[in-house]
Amino acid sequence: MTRPRAVDGPRLPAPRAESGPVLELRAAAARRGGRTLWSGVELTVREGEFTAVLGPNGAGKSTLVKMLLGAAPVAAGEVRVLGARPGQANHRIGYLPQRRSFDASMRIRGIDVVRLGLDGDRWGVPLPFGGPRHRDARQRVAEAVELVGASAYAHRPIGQCSGGEQQRLLIAQALVRRPQLLLLDEPLDSLDLSHQGGVAALIGRICHQEGVAVVMVAHDVNPILHHLDQVLYLAEGGSAGGTPEEVITSATLTRLYGTRVEVLRASDGRLVVVGRPETTGGGHGALR
Ligand SMILES: Nc1ncnc2c1ncn2[C@@H]1O[C@H](COP(=O)(O)OP(=O)(O)OP(=O)(O)O)[C@@H](O)[C@H]1O
């Protein structure tokens, strides 16, 4: 799905015309430690599409992200990333790994953290000061910071920024190379509800207005539900993909888990899953 680009505001990611999908998985499977984590995954992600990867702990969501980066093997089937084998187009991918946090005493400024996304692989070899590459780098960093709305605190030490502010700066870091694909591993983890909503809206905007394809591992689908184009649900060695309305249903999750699962919609629109095998504490909770 391709959506119109924003007319106003910074335009950091510059999606190029792609002949094919950004991501393609055909009958793909992942194995870890001699165990099949998931199999039969069919997924197509196009420019400007927002895809969530859902499933219980240990289902293999992070493994999927690592597979797309070429850091975990493809056990079966075919995986194409930006028209190439996994790992061959990583310079066109922005990646936010799981569980990042900064110590409160960390003195490095937010803006320097963003810049690491540009030249973090060239530690100790600074861009020539004042040269055209230096100016281009400075402009890209400033654009990324503005795009995520972090200008007000980007010059503060990162350790003194709130969790939500740090998350925005890390998303800016993942965006600074103007990627065509953004891989985000639980970027809303450890944020409070209001920050979750703000960061989810930011990611939705980057995706739909800037045309960047986003694949996001999520613990709880609710904060991103209204921004999503499709979901991939991994569980019990299998998988189910499609629009949220197709996948997050009692029938689909019951089939996937092989036991009775019920999806309820709360009055505020949140989805609640009842009866998942691994659920504790009364057998219900927000959808994961
Ligand atoms: N390098 C590895 N070698 C062996 N097993 C591994 C390796 N990496 C991950 N695993 C196992 O594979 C399974 C899936 O791990 P993964 O991190 O992909 O799950 P996840 O769905 O992201 O989980 P969570 O929601 O808890 O983050 C886990 O049981 C994990 O212990």
Question: Tell me: the pLDDT tens digits for 165-184?
Answer: 898 899 899 888 889 999 99
Cα-based angle 268, 99, 82 (whole degrees, multiple of 5): 85
What local confidence, expressed as pLDDT, does residue 122 receive?
Answer: 43
* Nearest CA, atom 18, ligand 1: 60
| Torsion 202-207-208-209 (CA) sign | positive
Instruction: Name the residue with higher pLDDT: 163 or 129.
Output: 163
Contact residues for 33 (Cβ-Cβ < 8 A; gap 6+): none
The pLDDT of 27-33, averaged and rounded, is 94
How far, in Å, CA of 22 to CA of 82, rounded? 5
For residue 33 and ligand 1, the question of a CB distance below 6 A is answered with yes
Distance in angstroms (rounded) separating the CA atoms of residues 107 and 99: 20
Q: What is the pLDDT of residues 111-137, one digit of tens each?
A: 999 998 887 554 434 444 455 567 788
45 Cα to the center of ligand 1, angstroms = 23
Q: Cα Rg for the chain, rounded, in angstroms?
A: 19
Runs of H (alpha helix) within the chain: 61-68, 110-119, 132-147, 163-175, 193-210, 244-247, 250-257
Task: Tell me the mean pLDDT in the region 242-269.
Answer: 88
Q: What percent of the chain has pLDDT over 70?
A: 83
Instruction: State the pLDDT at residue 113.
Output: 92
Q: Is the CB of 30 under 6 A from ligand 1?
A: no
Interface predicted TM-score of the whole assembly (ipTM), two decimals: 0.96
Under 8 Å CB-to-CB from 42, ≥6 apart: which residues?
A: 25, 26, 27, 28, 241
C-beta neighbour count of 176 within 10 angstroms: 26
Quote the percentage of the chain above a pLDDT of 90.
45
Per-residue confidence at 105, pLDDT binned at 50, 70, 90?
Answer: confident
Q: Which of 49, 57, 54, 65 is nearest to 220 (CA)?
A: 54
Name the pLDDT band for 12 (thresholds 50, 70, 90). Answer: low
Q: What is the mean pLDDT of residues 28-39?
A: 93
The pTM of the full predicted model, rounded to 2 decimals, is 0.84
pLDDT at 273 over 60: yes
- Ligand 1 pocket test: pick from 36, 54, 62, 190 the residue with the most ligand atoms within 8 Å of its Cβ: 62
Mean pLDDT of the chain, nearest integer: 83
How many Cβ atoms are within 10 Å of 143's Cβ, its own excluded?
19
Q: Could you give all domains of the chain from N- to C-terminal order, each with its CATH number?
A: 23-248 (3.40.50.300), 249-288 (no CATH)
pLDDT score of 6 more than 80:
no
Q: Which residues contact 142 (CB under 8 A, 6 or more apart)?
A: none
Say yes or no to pLDDT of 213 above 90: yes
Closest residue by Cα to atom 4, ligand 1, is: 33
DSSP label at 217? E
pLDDT at 285: 42
What is the spatial distance between Cα 100 and Cα 42, in angstroms, rounded to a whole number? Answer: 30
Ligand 1 pocket, 60 CB below 6 A? yes
Pocket test for ligand 1, best of 37, 39, 57, 221 (most atoms within 8 A of CB): 37
